[in-house]
Amino acid sequence: MEYSTQMNAARRGLITKEMEAVARKEGVAVENLRDLIARGQVVIPANKNHKTLDPCGIGRGLRTKINVNLGVSKDCCHGETELEKARVAIELKADAIMDLSCYGKTAEFRRRLITMSSVAVGTVPVYDAVGYYDKDLREITPEEFLGVVEKHAADGVDFMTIHAGVNRETAARFKKTPRLTNIVSRGGALLFAWMELNGRENPFYEYFDDLLEICRRYDVTISLGDACRPGCLKDATDAAQIQELITLGELTRRAWEKDVQVMIEGPGHMPLNEIGPNMLLEKKLCHGAPFYVLGPLVTDIAPGYDHITSAIGGAIAAAHGADFLCYVTPAEHLRLPTLEDMKEGIIASRIAAHAADIAKGIPGARQWDDAMSEARRKLDWEKMFQLAIDPEKARRYREESRPEKEDSCTMCGEMCAVRNMNRVMGDPGPV
């Protein structure tokens, strides 16, 4: 039977090949997965034109997923370098890649990325619009904004960040609510500026139904962007952020009426104690739709280490219900990330996601840790390396400082508690 989107199929009781693939990878019953998709609590970003995709599910009861941002800018316009990052990101088990390109031959880069990517690819069409039309922001028409969405969808983009919630009502609330860092979302700032320059409604909000028709045609998942996400701790959970979230909840229902899959994007920078309540708010106001967070970064004082501040916040957010973590690298706030920056960001995000999956009781999550603990008890170094989230780094650290006794390390040597307890307890030690 024909179906228009994964949600449409699920609501008709159909099981698609994408649902079967996700259920297999997650170890869940495909009928249960189908029902969650029908209710909007799980999405499978899978554009009909993305032929190389190995689909993944995002949402309730599934492993926490991570996204990697990359792309070309005017200052760093090296497409081959960014494609190499994408290749390495996939090797490092990223679940999705967002192309944030905003300069140069963006269409060529995007198509090459989609062709080589086995994971879901996302974009932010408003970034591309200014460069694509080569005109001042204020002169871009609503039809032209939607035209870029159509081009991205036709190319095979699986999910798109659309800042439809920063409408004139949200903008008015923002202007009445003093902020330390104003609007830090690039897409949100562009659309806010467009509205101010033209005295008009946000085109993605005004023509949301037209946007939905495009997404339905190609089965593009909408990632409803958080233009008013806090850019510092002081701005967290303010009136503008919550006003936008309420609007995103209303837009979610409108999308579901058209069988269009939806994710919700969230903060941002946020104190530790506000993360849990924010996750609850999103799930309540947006009807259980999957939540996609940038971080949250739990302190503002760590440039060069924001992959750590983000991983702390990401673990807490996911443990409280967030479903999708956008990685942050050590280069955040400083420059375009290098390949090594990207790797550090991915590993930090994967650690956060896995820690949260253990807390959420995701089936099979703890088995990995238990296997590592067994290898440590046996001082089975090779098995430890195989199980490590970053085997290369673990091996390198071991080789850089070899112990006198192979069944120890240079921290404790003959005083190694594990080694001595094995001898006392009669355990075999290394195998």
Q: Is 7 annotated as a binding residue?
A: no
Confidence check: pLDDT of 221 > 50: yes
pLDDT digits (tens, 9 = 90+) for 355-397: 999 999 999 999 999 999 999 999 999 999 999 999 999 999 9
Structural domains of the chain in order of their starting residue, each with its CATH number:
48-360 (3.20.20.540), 366-425 (no CATH)
pLDDT bracket for residue 1 (50, 70, 90): low
Q: Is 186 annotated as a binding residue?
A: yes
Residue 388: alpha-carbon gap to chain centroid = 22
Q: Is 419 annotated as a binding residue?
A: no
More confident residue, 115 or 103: 115
**pLDDT for res 347:** 98
Query: For 246-262, what is the mean pLDDT?
Result: 98
Please give the DSSP secondary-structure letter assigned to residue 379: T
Q: Is 409 annotated as a binding residue?
A: yes
How many Cβ atoms sit within 10 Å of the Cβ of residue 180?
A: 11
Q: Is 63 annotated as a binding residue?
A: no
Query: For 76-92, what is the mean pLDDT?
Result: 91
Cα separation values, 375 from 139, 307, 351, 363, 429, Å: 62, 28, 19, 21, 10
Element (H, E) at 77: none
Q: Is 76 annotated as a binding residue?
A: no
Confidence check: pLDDT of 430 > 60: no
**pLDDT for res 340:** 96
- Give CA–CA dist 361/363, Å, rounded: 6
Q: Is 127 annotated as a binding residue?
A: yes
Contact assessment for residue 338 and residue 347, using Cβ atoms and an 8 Å cutoff: no
Q: What single string gives the DSSP state of each residue in 132-178?
A: HHTS-GGG--HHHHHHHHHHHHHHT--EEEE--S--HHHHHHHHHS-
Residue type for 402, please?
R
**Where do we find the tokens 């269009």?**
260
pTM of the predicted model, to two decimals? 0.95
Q: Is 226 annotated as a binding residue?
A: yes
Task: Tell me whether residue 406 is exposed, middle or buried, using C-beta atoms within 10 angstroms of its C-beta: 0 to 12, 13 to 18, 19 or more.
Answer: exposed
Q: Is 287 annotated as a binding residue?
A: no
**pLDDT for res 412:** 87
- Give CA–CA dist 404/52, Å, rounded: 49
Q: Is 98 annotated as a binding residue?
A: yes
Q: Which bin fits 372, alpha (ψ -120 to 50), beta or left (φ > 0)?
A: alpha
Q: Is 265 annotated as a binding residue?
A: yes
**pLDDT for res 431:** 44
Confidence check: pLDDT of 78 > 80: no
Cα separation values, 414 from 178, 368, 408, Å: 61, 28, 7
Q: Is 60 annotated as a binding residue?
A: no
The pair of structure tokens assigned to 233 is 């701790």
